[in-house]
Amino acid sequence: MSSRAVAAGDTLELRYALRPRGGDDLVSNFDDPEAETLTLGDGTLSPALEAWLIDLTPGERHVFLLDPGQAFGQSDPGLIQTLAKTDLPPDMEFVRDHLVEFAMPGGQTLAGRILEVADDAIKVDFNHPLADLSIEFEVEVVRIL
């Protein structure tokens, strides 16, 4: 096993958890049988989180306490949009506080949380669900591949 530190572009086996500071895990793979394999820069983790992995040594476990600006940023009021139901798939269900994925031209998807449901429109928040939150990012680089 190499003892070199993580560098940009590396492919890693990684265990990590994300939680609001002092709260319960929102995402964790520490109990999974296999660590997640990802390549820095492939979009699996946000660039803000990837930056905390640089220079870590495999086998060490760290907990980073991140302010919103170091994690998922502040919410942008411009990302809260009202969408006409006629512009959406007819079989789509609209439930307040549910996360839904919207297909974008070009094949990507964009997730949004439904804030309000009216007869002819829905209001959707496309900000990251963890925007505005102070986050604990617990991480262990298992190995560099």
The pLDDT score that the predictor gives to residue 112 is 92
Domain 11-73+131-144, CATH among 3.10.50.40, 3.30.470.20, 3.30.200.20, 3.30.70.20: 3.10.50.40
The pLDDT score that the predictor gives to residue 104 is 77
The pLDDT score that the predictor gives to residue 37 is 96
Mean pLDDT of 45-49: 87
pLDDT tens, residue by residue, 121-133? 999 999 988 899 9
pLDDT tens, residue by residue, 90-100? 888 899 999 88
List the domain boundaries for the chain: 11-73+131-144, 77-125
pLDDT tens, residue by residue, 74-92? 999 999 999 999 988 888 8
On the question of pLDDT at 109 being above 90, the answer is no
SS (H, E, C) the chain: CCCCCCCCCCEEEEEEEEEECCCCCCEECCCCCCCEEEECCCCCCCHHHHCCCCCCCCCCEEEEEECHHHCCCCCCHHHEEEEEHHHCCCCCCCCCCCEEEEECCCCCEEEEEEEEECCCEEEEECCCCCCCCCEEEEEEEEEEC
- Class of the 77-125 domain? mainly beta
Mean pLDDT of 30-57: 93
